[in-house]
Amino acid sequence: MELVTPEWGLVAWTTITFLILLVLLKAFAWKPIMSAINDREKSIEDALLKAEAAKEEMSRLTGENESLIKQARAERDLILHEAKKVKDQMIADAKEIAHKEGARMIELARVEINNQKAIAMADVKNQVATLSIQIAEKLLQKQLEDQKSQDELVAQLLKEVKL
């Protein structure tokens, strides 16, 4: 039962030892422990501030990336639109050139046809002139003979000649 009810001497020495321990701890250990705790608190606070700054930087970079992506999409759309316009213009130009070339070829064909027609008409006229000269020559030869045979000859020659 002695341990359950201590004596006054034990209580006094325990109190004195405790007070000496408190003084020694305050003198030698309290300041280093508190400075270590304060340093740790500051380092944790700095880490939290850096984490917050990094988070803000990440959100800023994310926003910049999104704006760059939007800008790149807009530029892509613009380039595609311009390419489509260029393609449409090239197709329209090619069609126009083809129409002009077709019209030019048709006109050249018309001119060639008219030239060939004129050549054929001139040839026909030359043949008619030659035939007329031949008829006239034969008429002159026969004219000296008699009128009746001359008329028969003209009729016969006219039958032979068909234009």
State pLDDT tens for residues 122-151: 999 888 888 888 888 776 776 656 777 767
- Cα Rg for the chain, rounded, in angstroms? 63
Q: Which amino acid is at 131?
A: L
Q: pLDDT-based confidence at 49, cuts 50/70/90? A: very high
Position 34 pLDDT exceeds 60: yes
Residue 68, classified by CB atoms within 10 Å of its CB into exposed (0-12), middle (13-18) or buried (19+), is: exposed
Distances (CA, A) of 103 to 89, 91, 97, 115: 21, 18, 10, 18
**Tokens, residue 57:** 């930087």
Where is pLDDT greater, at 76 or 145?
A: 76
Q: Using CA atoms, how far apart are residues 59 and 62, in angstroms rounded to an integer? A: 5
- Residue 4, amino acid: V
Contacts (Cβ under 8 Å, ≥6 apart) of 128: 163
pTM: 0.41
If pLDDT is split at 50, 70 and 90, which confidence band does 11 have?
confident
Q: How far apart are CA 159 and CA 155, in angstroms?
A: 6
pLDDT (0 to 100) of residue 156: 79
Q: For the chain, which residues make up each domain, given as ranges? A: 8-160
- Maximum Cα interatomic distance, the chain, rounded to a whole number of Å: 194
Question: How far is residue 139's CA from residue 128's CA, in Å, rounded to a whole number?
Answer: 16
